[in-house]
Amino acid sequence: MTSTNATSLIHPNNAEMRMHPTEELIRIHRKERLAEAERQRQVRAMSAGRRWRAVARYATRKAEAAEQR
């Protein structure tokens, strides 16, 4: 019979579970914050693009209405 420690029974992937040093946690959190900031930048760029398209449509309608007068 092979001996098995109790933690491997509780967590089969115990080899993957470990405590991270403070510097590594800081790096992980920084990476997450940078990813979130990039996602928000992309969202702002998309909404700005939609806004300018709406302004362009409005200007086109106004110009067409002015030509018909």
Which CA distances in Å does 57 have to 31, 53, 61, 66? Answer: 39, 6, 6, 14
In a domain, 9, yes or no: no
In a domain, 14, yes or no: no
Q: What is the pLDDT of residue 1?
A: 47
How many structural domains is the chain composed of? 1
In a domain, 5, yes or no: no
Distance of CA 26 to the CA centre of its chain: 18
Using one digit for the tens of pLDDT, what is the confidence trace for 9-41?
555 555 555 667 888 889 999 999 999 999 999
Q: What is the pLDDT of residue 12?
A: 57
Q: What is the pLDDT of residue 9?
A: 55
In a domain, 13, yes or no: no
Range of the domain at 49: 19-68
Look at 3 and 30; give whichever has higher pLDDT. 30
